[in-house]
Amino acid sequence: MTTRHCLHCPNPAAHQRRVCNPCRNRLYRSNRRNRRRPYQPRRDPEPFNIDTAVNTRRPLPGMTSEERAAAGVQLTAHGLSARQIADIFSVTTRTVARWRAAARTTQAA
Ligand SMILES: [Zn+2]
């Protein structure tokens, strides 16, 4: 029997499932799974979500906008262009420019 890898991250999937338990919980809490569930934004960004998105260069489902912005800024440091980052997160290049500008001002302050 071979262990399956999670669809969304490098972790092994849970037994007889296509996703790992952290990803299952993330999907369950995100408003992507069931629109009738009220959206509860998670306040503090989780480093695991940012690191995984940067390492796999794919967005995790249910990432907060803060996490996407942080991952975009880190991918900039990895040498990716605004076009490439925009394609990864399905945003416009203008949004990536906004993330970069916000990171610059918080670093300067
Ligand atoms: Zn996973």
The CATH number given to whatever domain includes residue 56 is: 1.10.10
- Chain length of the chain: 109
User: What would the mean pLDDT of 35-51 be, rounded to a whole number?
Assistant: 70
For residue 24, the CA-to-ligand 1 centroid distance in Å is: 7
pLDDT in tens, 10-33: 889 999 888 899 988 888 777 665
Name 21's Cβ contacts closer than 8 Å, sequence gap at least 6.
Answer: 14
pLDDT in tens, 50-85: 999 999 999 988 888 889 999 999 999 999 999 999
How many domains are there within the chain?
Answer: 1
Which pLDDT value is given to residue 33?
A: 57
* Residue 50 · residue 66 · CB < 8 Å: no
Single-letter amino acid, residue 30: S
Structural domain contains residue 90: yes
For residue 11, the CA-to-ligand 1 centroid distance in Å is: 5
Which pLDDT value is given to residue 38?
A: 46
Round to whole Å and give the CA distance between 34 and 53. Answer: 23
Round to whole Å and give the CA distance between 71 and 75. Answer: 6
Structural domain contains residue 87: yes
Round to whole Å and give the CA distance between 79 and 100. Answer: 13
Range of the domain at 69: 43-108
Residue 41 binned pLDDT confidence (cut-offs 50, 70, 90) = low
